[in-house]
Structure 1
């Protein structure tokens, strides 16, 4: 049984048993179910790709940061949107 818990993240290299990338643990048991959530360089992807890997092999993968942990584009752009909305409402139309 894997010591990884659901929502942990692992990085699989080019030489791994599954396509390279960052995976979120979505199930554990005799095998560990992994959902691909990022590229090998940490960019977020939405593939829906789920793979099953033997627990002994999963334990060899390095841990990784959640690719969702950074600020979202919406959060970055929110202050600019607020300024545009404020100017728009003050213009006489």
Structure 2
């Protein structure tokens, strides 16, 4: 994913768990954050909730990327604050379109 996004010309920061992710989001406040559902430690839904609670956290576009296509997961993601729910494997062209919006 990192290589693909960099090939599209994006600057990419990577967190390996939820705590790191929240710290990065608070520190760099990116335009978009792609968060894998199923993170170790602090779960992805809590990452979204904490991101929305920080100053300007609503300005970050949060994209849930997951292997879970269950409609309940999509609802949970939306309720936690994600703007979009994408199911793996995501089509690179679709991902590129999502990031341009």
Instruction: Work out whether the TM-score is over 0.5.
Output: no
Q: Which has the higher strand share?
A: 1
Larger Rg: 1
Q: Which has the higher helix share?
A: 2
Q: TM-score, normalised by structure 2?
A: 0.26
